Amino acid sequence: MLKFSRDTVAQVLAAVDIVEIIGARLSLKPSGGSRFKGLSPFTNEKTPSFIVSRDRQMYHCFSSGKGGDALTFLMEYEGLSFSEALRKLADQAGIRLAMPSEGDDREEYLRGQLLELGKFAADHYRRQLLDRTVGETGRAYLAKRKIGAETAEKFGVGFAPEAWTHLYDAAVHRQYKEYVLEASGLFRRGERSDRGMYDFFRNRLIFPIRDVSGNVVAFGGRDLGDSPAKYINSPETQVYKKARVLYGLFEARDALRREKYAILVEGYFDLIRCFDGGVENVVASCGTALTEQQAALIRRYVPEVVVVYDGDAAGIKAALKGTSILTASGLRVRALALPKGQDPDDFVRDNGADAFRALLADAPDFLTFYVDMTRDRSNTVEGRSEVAHELFQILRGMADKLRVDEYLRLIAKALGLHEWACRREYEQFCRGAEERGSAVRNPAPSSGVEDKPHKDDVDFIAALIAFPAMRRPVGMALAELTLPETPLAEVLGWVLAQPDSCRPAEAVAEFESEGARRLLSAAALTEILAEDEQKALDLVKRRSGALAREALRLETERVLDDLRRAERDGDSERMLELLRARTELSKKLDTLSVT
């Protein structure tokens, strides 16, 4: 249910340009008239099928089936709720929207409060770091690590004093509600505080963690005392799911688009050190295992990633799993192990950013890297077989068969195997995994094809939008029939009720089903030329006839079911009524078959 009036939504959408909204996030190229085209951010396509129309103020991804207006794009692309996407567009357009009250929508209110509290906490921690007295410990640590003041400011690095309720007292003074504070993950309950709650982060350097929209959704903290937990992170909350967030992604977006590849590191200081040296196309997993959602985030911005690993056995094992996820998302993967067991923080500080760039430029593809790092296991037939099988597991997650073929050649060459033997072994490996049910199989990237609207349905609706005169005959032909509840029936009902000039962009958000929204966006962005009117008319007649026949078939099945029940009940009067109904339906079907 919409939390804003239709007029408010229409006002916001009218104040923004969908080409500017999407163009700020994706690379779009003119495609004739007011249309723009680019690679889909939702699939791993190589031929652009993502269309944006300035006239229609709509987009449609023909490879995934997703489509809609600027609102639905932000919801899909950035994972925002309807209200969050609307507010983001409104802010960009300079339109003030009323904030939700606790009584209107408690869940939406809590989300808003958590995001507001996140910003408040980040500002609070930042002020403590800059405070001449309070922040001396934090500033001394940054100076020891040789992190520049501008870089620390860019990432909002702050300081949590050792006091038990420093942030809590400030938040209570700002009048945040108790349940909001508890839901934020910034506080714990205990007996050491008069109020029963105390700060989670104490005597730590603080790293705000932002989502792709720039909202502070969580924090990381580096201990500056003698705590056994050197680093701690916020727990998951309503606004923070660690599997869906990468540290530094918000700050790295422009550099990722410019450099066309991402550097994946592990820790906060690894990333900040790179930025401090001018290498900004960097994101960090912050010590957690890489997830499919994080790989998909990277794939939105770049086609390639260089993963910087520790060179120890644990790092190599993690590399194998992480690469499986990255390649399954459609990313090309190269890998780099820094010399002497250094991490990026150590290496860039000691050798400079240019030396790091040189290593990145020469980083090999992951398969070559992995074979080289497991060289001590490749001296025997058994060892080579083990390494090959470990790499086969990665290949099974790839949807691109041409890449699989190329990688099989690389594996064979790197391990000194005959290419035909390597391919045969890979095929046997895949068959064996299928027979075992493949409990360890890497999930293939979702293509979304099951959600794509059928081409006949798209062309049918597109024709009715383009040629209003065709709508009345279709409406008359289907007037007395009950169509099954499908996305097509939902969109068709809307189109037939429209005046000559219908506005799909204004209606797409009103449909209840995602299938209906995708169908309408696809139809609205399907071009039908005036000279194609006869072809469109033939299609409309054929498709409306098929719909009528399907509706009559379903009605006939319903009548036959009722007839069998009436026969079982011995209701002769009802049986005669249903027999007449079946005869009428048969006549209508015969008539449609002739026409």
Contact call for residues 166 and 193 (beta carbons, < 8 A): no
What pLDDT, on a 0 to 100 scale, did the predictor assign at position 555?
Answer: 84
Contacts of 376 (CB under 8 A, 6+ apart): none
**3-state DSSP assignment of residue 259:** helix
Which of 582, 474, 456 lies closest to 519, judged by CA? 456
Residue 364 to residue 413: CA distance in whole angstroms: 14
Which of 126, 226, 204 lies closest to 170, judged by CA? 126
* Phi-psi group of 73: left, alpha or beta (phi > 0 → left; psi -120 to 50 → alpha; rest → beta): alpha
Contact call for residues 461 and 521 (beta carbons, < 8 A): no
Residue 419 to residue 408: CA distance in whole angstroms: 7
Residue 377 to residue 383: CA distance in whole angstroms: 5
Residue 373 CA: distances (Å) to CA of 85, 309, 317, 361: 45, 11, 11, 19
pTM over 0.75: no
Each residue's pLDDT, cut to its tens digit, for the chain (595 residues) gives 446 788 888 899 999 999 999 998 888 999 888 899 998 888 877 789 999 999 889 999 988 888 999 999 998 888 888 888 898 999 988 888 877 766 667 788 898 899 999 999 999 999 999 999 999 999 999 999 999 999 999 999 999 999 999 999 999 999 999 999 999 999 998 764 455 899 999 999 999 999 988 999 999 999 999 999 999 999 999 999 998 899 999 999 999 989 999 999 989 999 999 999 999 999 998 767 888 889 989 988 898 999 997 656 666 666 677 888 898 888 899 999 888 878 899 999 999 999 999 999 999 988 888 888 888 787 788 888 888 988 998 888 777 788 889 889 988 988 888 889 899 999 988 888 776 554 444 444 443 444 678 888 899 999 999 898 898 888 888 887 888 888 888 888 888 888 877 788 777 777 778 888 889 889 888 888 777 888 888 888 888 888 888 888 888 888 888 888 888 888 888 888 888 888 887 887 777 665 5
Which of 135, 271, 157, 143 lies closest to 207, judged by CA? 157
SS (H, E, C) 154-165: HCCCEEECCCCC
Residue 430 to residue 439: CA distance in whole angstroms: 12
- Phi and psi at 116, nearest 5°, equal -65, -40
User: Would you state the structure tokens that stand for residue 354, as one six-digit string?
Assistant: 């240019």
Contact call for residues 41 and 77 (beta carbons, < 8 A): yes
What pLDDT, on a 0 to 100 scale, did the predictor assign at position 435?
Answer: 64
Residue 336 CA: distances (Å) to CA of 77, 131, 276, 328: 30, 40, 20, 20
Work out the burial of residue 260: count CB atoms within 10 Å of its CB; fewer than 13 is exposed, 13-18 middle, 19 or more buried.
exposed
Q: How far is CA 187 from the centre of its chain?
A: 30
Contact call for residues 494 and 564 (beta carbons, < 8 A): no
H or E segment and range at residue 30 = strand 29-30
Which residue type sits at 161?
A: P
SS (H, E, C) 297-308: HHHHHCCEEEEE
Residue 511 to residue 487: CA distance in whole angstroms: 9
What pLDDT, on a 0 to 100 scale, did the predictor assign at position 318?
Answer: 66
Angle, CA of 375, 380 and 382, to the nearest 5°: 105
Could you identify the residue written with the tokens 């007029």? 7
Residue 348 to residue 357: CA distance in whole angstroms: 10
Which of 197, 177, 180, 179 lies closest to 188, judged by CA? 197
Q: What is the per-residue DSSP string for 293-349?
A: HHHHHHHHH-SEEEEEE-SSHHHHHHHHHHHHHHHHTT-EEEEEE-GGG--HHHHHH
Residue 520 to residue 187: CA distance in whole angstroms: 46
Q: How far is CA 99 from the centre of its chain?
A: 26
Angle, helix 533-569 to helix 471-478, in steps of 10 degrees: 10
Task: Tell me the H-state helices in 416-486.
Answer: 419-435, 455-466, 471-478
What pLDDT, on a 0 to 100 scale, did the predictor assign at position 314?
Answer: 62
Which of 315, 122, 298, 308 lies closest to 201, judged by CA? 122
Contact call for residues 326 and 307 (beta carbons, < 8 A): yes
Q: What is the per-residue DSSP string for 38-67?
A: E--SSS--SS--EEEETTTTEEEETTT--E
What pLDDT, on a 0 to 100 scale, did the predictor assign at position 448?
Answer: 40
